[in-house]
Amino acid sequence: MKQSVLFLCERNAGRSQIAEGLLNHFYGDRYEAFSAGMRPSVVNTAVIQVMEEIGVDMKGCTSKALSGFSGRSFDFIVLMTDNGSAMALPPHRNCIRQHFPDPAVHPDPCDAQLMRFRELRDDIHTWIAGRFGQES
């Protein structure tokens, strides 16, 4: 039976979307990942582009509110923001705090922002492989 993982961040526009896509793509045989935000917005187009570069299709993904998961329980909740301590979380067995900086907060030219999203994708991928990639 697959374990469920909910990744939470501020807007569900970048970090948590990347984590959801990576976990489902590389470890979907053991995990079912979801993502949500405290203040959902729109998925950053840079996320779709950098994930496509490694073969993960994120077209059609949407930003989701945490409230959309009420009544659901999870094996893991991963808080990817420093601002998640005041949230009312759905029932869960394990809560993991793993902060990643939000690359979208810097209004740089497109190339610089894409580079930051690639670095973020790679950092999250490395962390996911170490945390969820091991057979239990």
- Residue 15, pLDDT above cutoff 80: yes
CA distance 45 to 13: 9
∠ CA 7-8-12, rounded to 5°: 105
pLDDT at 111: 85
For helices 45-52 and 15-27, what crossing angle results, to 10°? 30
Per mean pLDDT, which range of 7-16, 21-30, 32-41, 82-91 is the poorest?
82-91
For helices 110-132 and 45-52, what crossing angle results, to 10°? 60
Q: What sign does the CA torsion over 21, 23, 25, 28 have?
A: negative
Question: How is residue 10 written in tokens?
Answer: 């501020």
pLDDT tens figures, 57-114: 999 999 999 999 988 999 999 999 876 555 788 999 999 999 998 887 776 667 888 9
pLDDT, mean of residues 111-119: 91
Domains and CATH numbers, the chain: 3-132 (3.40.50.2300)
